[in-house]
Amino acid sequence: QKEVEQDPGPLSVPEGAIVSLNCTYSNSAFQYFMWYRQYSRKGPELLMYTYSSGNKEDGRFTAQVDKSSKYISLFIRDSQPSDSATYLCAMSGYGNKLVFGAGTILRVKS
Amino acid sequence: ETGVTQTPRHLVMGMTNKKSLKCEQHLGHNAMYWYKQSAKKPLELMFVYSLEERVENNSVPSRFSPECPNSSHLFLHLHTLQPEDSALYLCASSQLGQGLDGYTFGSGTRLTVV
């Protein structure tokens, strides 16, 4: 079993849709949870991060962590074509290196 | 220059060639990383340098040789590579010991081995 599972997609949605991206994990020691966005021909950039369980909102983006289910989500409201990218989840225990998911390709069609 | 800079952006090399990838970070971070990114696979951590000392080597073949001459520069020396080594090689940096600020990545070097 992989430490972090993420559906590679691609996920295609119309402009304005609500997008839900998800990861599951197996290591209960993970405390920090992140989402990176990677545009074509670019490196990943940190989009959001949360510590332990709960929600965090930043504009159109909401990150959710459910540690009891070992499940994290990223929601994008009012999706735009500029949101088309690969989204990678990443997580770590305290002081440890990040473990990444495979990334989900998102395509938002205008 | 800001952030993490990688050169070259693209590299095509034969299996008998020797080449080097370069990474420079302008963030004052104390840790640097090499990752390999292949299609539909998670990022594979190759090497970690903390305060210029290699602290991790994830069973990477010896045809990949890292070098960290100072806290701002990281190299990946390549020799006698195989076609399956073709991938995007990403460099990242972070500041250890000050909470979790995440990693800052460069744009990567797209390597093709022919």
Q: Is the predicted pLDDT of residue B92 greater than 60, yes or no?
A: yes
Region B23-50: what's the mean pLDDT? 91
pLDDT score recorded for residue A34:
94
pLDDT score recorded for residue B33:
93
pLDDT score recorded for residue B99:
56
pLDDT score recorded for residue B57:
74
pLDDT score recorded for residue A85:
97
Q: What is the mean pLDDT of chain B?
A: 90
User: How many contacts (CB atoms, under 8 Å) link A and B?
Assistant: 50
Contact A102 B40 (CB under 8 A): yes
pLDDT score recorded for residue B100:
62
Of B103, B106, B108, the CB nearest to A98: B103
pLDDT score recorded for residue A97:
79
pLDDT score recorded for residue B101:
64
Pairing of strands A85-92, A104-109: antiparallel
Q: Which of B17, B24, B4 is nearest to B113 (CA)?
A: B17
Pairing of strands A104-109, A11-14: parallel
3-state helix, strand, coil in chain B (%, to 5): 5, 55, 40
Contact B105 A43 (CB under 8 A): yes
**Residues in chain A closer than 8 A to B48 (CB atoms):** 97
**Residues in chain A closer than 8 A to B40 (CB atoms):** 8, 102
In angstroms, the separation between the Cα of residue A108 and the nearest Cα of chain B is: 19
pLDDT tens-digit map of B39-64: 888 889 999 998 777 777 778 999 99
SS3 state at B42:
coil
Region B15-40: what's the mean pLDDT? 93
pLDDT score recorded for residue A71:
95
Q: Mean pLDDT by 10-residue block, N- to C-terminus, for chain A (110 residues)?
A: 88 98 95 94 92 90 95 98 97 82 95
pLDDT score recorded for residue B96:
78
In angstroms, the separation between the Cα of residue B108 and the nearest Cα of chain A is: 6
Angstrom distance (rounded) from CA A95 to CA B98? 10
